[in-house]
Each structure stands twice: as structure tokens, then as C-alpha cells.
Amino acid sequence: MEPPKAYTWDPESAEFFKKLDINTELKESHYTSLHYVIRPKAESDVVCEIQVRTLFEEIWGEVDHSLNYPSPTDNVACSEQLRVLAKVVGAGSRLVDSIFRTAQPIVSSTVEPVLEPSVEHLAKVALSSVTPPAATPTLVQSEEGLPINPEDDPT
């Protein structure tokens, strides 16, 4: 299994990932994501990449993708607006974390806390809850309790 890798344009985010011992690459493109490369078994030739982003980061990525793929835009105004949007996205993620941190004492005093819903907490949980691959795959079951074979799925 490869270690996770973080991509970000934001020096503060890069510092956060580095404190978690996550290899981090600064991206001038303003792309932000945490990548995990996994295999179902250590010896498997099948490799999957899981990209973890906030909803804000996903929206930025969709806008960027529509303007810059298959070829980068030559429109300077659009490129500048994407840069500004990346900063708004970063600010939005920080604001959401702040809202939850502010609300946490209120929630804690009224209900039993389940999880801390912050980006930082989710990153820590993701790192601590990586499950080693199973020797045999686990079958998914339908609501009726019957095994579902993914190869039979018509979608």
C-alpha cells in the first residue's frame, strides 16, 4: 500500500498535512485533494485511487475541469477567477470548521456527541481507519439479505 498524498495550493493546508506525516505537494493549479492508492490484496495487479475532497473543493474541481480540459483555457479572466474561487473554497472550508467548533459546546451540552464533524477530524479518522485488505472479498447483500454480485449489476 502506498502512503496517502496531499495536493494543495494553500501553505496552511500543506502544513496541516505535513503535521500528519502526509506527503504533500503544492500545486500552482490550485488543485486540492488527498489521494489514497489502494489494492484489494497486497499482491493484486488491481490498483484504485481514492480522491478525498470537501464538497467545496469538488465544486472548484468541476468548474476547473469544465474550463481546462481537454486543453487549458487561454482566457486570463477565467484563470484569475478560478484562482479567486480556490481561495473562497479554502475560506469556506475553514468557516465550516469554525461553525462546528463553535457549536460543539452547545451540542455537547444537549446531546451525546457522536463525531467531531470537521475537515481536520475527518482527515485523522481516514488515516486511522484504513482497513487492511481482506483475504477474501466481502459480498454485499440486498435489503432482502441476498448476496449481490457486482458483475450482475446492469448499471
pLDDT digits (tens, 9 = 90+) for 113-148: 555 566 666 666 566 655 555 555 555 666 776 766
Q: Record the pTM.
A: 0.65
The answer on pLDDT for 108 being more than 90 is no
- How many whole angstroms separate alpha carbon 39 and alpha carbon 49? 9
Provide the β-strand partners of residue 49: 37
Residue 120: partners with Cβ closer than 8 Å, 6 or more residues away: 16, 97
Report helix, strand or coil for 140. strand
Instruction: Give the pLDDT confidence score for residue 62 in this predicted structure.
Output: 96
Nearest one of 54, 123, 117, 128 to 91, comparing CA atoms: 54
Cα 43 from chain centre? 26
- Residue 105: pLDDT band with limits 50, 70, 90: confident
Alpha carbon 32 to chain centroid distance? 9
